[in-house]
Each structure stands twice: as structure tokens, then as C-alpha cells.
Amino acid sequence: EVPTNKPIVRKDQNDLIFQTEQGKFSALARHVKTLHQKGQPVLIGTVSIEKNELLSNYLRREGVPHEMLNAKNHEREGEIVAGAGEKACVTVATNMAGRGVDIKLGGALATPALAQEVKDLGGLYVLGTERHEARRIDNQLRGRSGRQGDPGETQFFVSLEDSLMRIFAPDSLKSLMGRFGIPEDEPIQNSMVSRALESAQTKIEGFNFDSRKHVLEFDNVLDKQRRAIYERRRKILVGNPEEVAGVLQELAAQGDSLALEGVSFGGVLKQKEEELGTEQFLNQARGVLLQTLDLLWVEHLESMEYLRGSVNLRAYGQRDPLTEYRKEGTHIYKQMEESFRGNVFEMLERLNPAGAGGHTASPAPVITLSVPEGTDAGELGRNDPCPCGSGKKWKNCGLKNTEEHQANMAKK
């Protein structure tokens, strides 16, 4: 642990526990009035704008002038914080934790004599209106007081109606306060309750940590895929011609099984390189690779997002969602790789010398579907056999209007 610059002399008082929220705010407003009359600066931390405004109403009833710091007047944040340490100043702030400022006793422009006067009054008094789910936030609020060895005091006012107390307060405490007829605005100090609150905060912090860890484990699956795709895209986008050729050769080695009309991927690469010349072929191939990869990656992200939203339901079937996500995600990624090879293969086949002046693949020709007379193309499913008799599916023959399809239809 890093030691403090100066010893901490701040006093952290035990929590005050009330039966109701209304009683808590009434008592807090009276306590603030006493501190204000004494001249001690007070900073009150609330958990929301609604509680901020509610407490402001209680302070107005007690005749306590105060400043409000929340999202509705954030433009005055610097001015309000600069004056929060002035004598008799009362500031009601929402989410004060983490603002990263030192509140100067006596004010930002205070003379040494004025600063010493505020120190003699006890320094900045920090009041919390309820415990947060994380101890870190409570400690950050406390840490606004007693900076750099200055005096200060902190205390939390909590009620049995607060979120944490409703869940974790012992039932015996609730019945005890009711049995003895303790007024709602009269507090009790109970170390057992304070320890129970800290224990509850520890449990919630552990739960939140597990949740973040779980999200990270899911994200790691997609992160590995993302790194592989981005590395390939970098080679295509900014790589030299040799790197582009390397990507093509890698696809050819993996995709020779995707032969179309008896022509291998490697054969198409060699043929187009001879027709267009090496430089022009690689320039156009770069555009083909980049366009195809970008489109498929966007579709892949949508598929993974859909999978992430639905995979948790598999827990009802006694299957681990993370394991299922890894397995299905890998399967979807492999499908994307196959589509990438197939789409690049088809687009490279369309390259022709007419595009020699550009750096991208020539646009695909407009497809005119040919079907036998008396056949309604709308009745054919994508996976139905093509009516030309090639034996291929309609999506791989008729919809793509291949040369084989056109030749077979011409014979008919």
C-alpha cells in the first residue's frame, strides 16, 4: 500500500441507522443546520439527482442555504467545488466520488488565516446519505475530507428503507427498533449493522467482478477472431504486393476444393495473372479481397451478436453457455472463411483486361436468369436442383447465371 503524504487525522464516525428514509433526511437536515451555525463546511453526497433534490427540500425547510451539484447544473461544477470548503458552506453533490479534486479549506482563494480558522472549526464534514454497492465509492466520498493532513470528519446516515439495508439488514434489527418504539428520526449506532453492510458490499463487489469476468470470457472468443481478421486486413490494405500475393496463395492452398467447372483456385490465379499482368492483377485483387472481407466481417459480427443474445438459454438444457458460444462461434467463423474463399474465387474469375485502368475488380455483369418455359422462377428454392440439368443447386448455378447454366439452357 502506498503511504500517504501526510498522516490522516480525519475522523470516520460509525453509521447512524434510522427506521425510515423520511426520518433519516429530517435528522440529517437538523444535523447540517447545527454544523452550518457552527461555521463548519459540509459536503453531502447523494446517490441520484432525485435524492439530491429531495434532500434540498429538507434543507430549505430548516433554513439552511446550500449549493446543489448535479447533472442539471454541471456548468457551475468548478465554481461550486472551489467554494465547497468555505466557512459555513453547505454543498449537496451527486456522485461526488471520483471527481478528482482537492477541496481547499477556506475556499480556493483563502488566506492562510482563513484556512486555519476553518481547520479550527473541524475542517470539512462529509455526510453520506446511504451506502453504495461498492466500498470504493464510499471511501472516495470520505476521501474528499481530510486531504493532505487537514482535519475532517465523515459519517453515513442510512435507513432500513435504503436499497442495501432492505436486502441485508438483519430482521432482528427491524423488529428491535419497532418493539422499543424508537422514533423514525432517532438513530441507533450498531457495529453489527455496520459490519453487515460492509459484508454485503463485499458480496456485491464479488458478484460484479464475476459478471465483468464472465463478459470478458465471452469477449475473448470474438477478440481472437478479430485479431486474425484485422491482421489479414492490414496485409491487404497496406501490405506490399508480395503480401497480397501471399494472402491469395494462402486462400488457394485452402480452397482448391472449391473448384468451379473443374478449375482450381490456383489455376484461376495463374490464368488471371497471365491475362492482366502481375502488377495489375494484384492491384485489382487487393480491392476484391478488401471489399469481400469487410462485407463478410460485418455479417459475422451480427451473427455473433445474435448468438451471444441467445446462447444463455442453453443453460436450461444443462449446457454451459460459454462452451456453446465458443463452439458455435468457431463454426460461424469457419463458415465465414469458406464464404470468403468462395466469394473471392468468383470475383477473381470476373476480372478482365478491360479494367486495366483501375485498381479494383471490374463490376460484376448484370445477371439475367434463364429458366425453362412454363417454369416460375419464384417456385424454385435456393437449394433446389437447377432446372438446366447441371446437377447443381439453383443458388450455385441459376442464381449465379454461370456459363454452364447458360450453355445448358441454350441446348434446351
**pLDDT digits 0-9 by tens, 297-319:** 999 999 999 998 888 888 888 88
31 and 172 belong to one structural domain? yes
54 and 131 belong to one structural domain? yes
134 and 225 belong to one structural domain? no
Highest mean pLDDT among 269-273, 335-339, 345-349, 408-412: 335-339
Rounded distance between C-alpha atoms, residue 197 and residue 202, angstroms? 9
Q: Is residue 199 one of the residues assigned to a domain?
A: no
Query: Predicted confidence band at 190 (pLDDT cuts at 50, 70, 90)?
Result: low
Q: What percent of the chain has pLDDT over 90?
A: 25
Q: What is the DSSP letter of 382?
A: T
233 and 349 belong to one structural domain? yes
114 and 238 belong to one structural domain? no
pLDDT over 90 (residue 29): yes
Range of the domain at 387: 377-411
User: What is the pLDDT at residue 210?
Assistant: 87
Q: Is residue 365 one of the residues assigned to a domain?
A: no
User: What is the pLDDT at residue 163?
Assistant: 81
Neighbouring C-beta atoms of residue 142, cutoff 10 Å: 20
Highest mean pLDDT among 122-131, 198-207, 311-320, 378-387: 122-131
Q: What is the mean pLDDT of residues 5-19?
A: 87
pLDDT over 90 (residue 127): yes
Q: What is the mean pLDDT of residues 224-253?
A: 88
Look at residues 189, 209, 242 and tell me which one is the last residue of a structural domain: 189
- Residue 23: which of 131, 157, 132 has the closest Cα? 157
320 and 397 belong to one structural domain? no
Q: Is residue 204 one of the residues assigned to a domain?
A: no
CATH code where residue 166 lies: 3.40.50.300
Q: Find all residues with CB under 8 Å of 119, minimum gap 6, and list them.
A: 105, 150, 151
183 and 226 belong to one structural domain? no
Provide the domain count of the chain: 3
Look at residues 173, 189, 205 and tell me which one is the last residue of a structural domain: 189
CATH code where residue 346 lies: 1.10.3060.10
Neighbouring C-beta atoms of residue 276, cutoff 10 Å: 19
Q: Is residue 91 one of the residues assigned to a domain?
A: yes
Is the Cβ–Cβ distance between 12 and 95 less than 8 Å?
A: no
Looking at every residue in the chain, the average pLDDT score rounds to 81
User: What is the pLDDT at residue 379?
Assistant: 57
347 and 382 belong to one structural domain? no
Lowest mean pLDDT among 14-18, 153-157, 246-250, 363-367: 363-367
Q: What is the mean pLDDT of residues 137-143?
A: 86
User: What is the pLDDT at residue 144?
Assistant: 87
Q: Is residue 333 one of the residues assigned to a domain?
A: yes
pLDDT over 50 (residue 70): yes
Q: Is residue 298 one of the residues assigned to a domain?
A: yes
User: What is the pLDDT at residue 399?
Assistant: 61
342 and 386 belong to one structural domain? no
157 and 222 belong to one structural domain? no
Q: Is residue 209 one of the residues assigned to a domain?
A: no
349 and 395 belong to one structural domain? no
Q: Is residue 222 one of the residues assigned to a domain?
A: yes
245 and 315 belong to one structural domain? yes
pTM of the entire structure? 0.57
Rounded distance between C-alpha atoms, residue 197 and residue 83, angstroms? 33
pLDDT over 90 (residue 43): yes
> Torsion angle, CA of 400/403/409/412, rounded to 10 degrees?
-160
pLDDT over 90 (residue 58): yes
Query: Predicted confidence band at 256 (pLDDT cuts at 50, 70, 90)?
Result: low
- Residue 42: which of 59, 20, 22, 61 has the closest Cα? 59
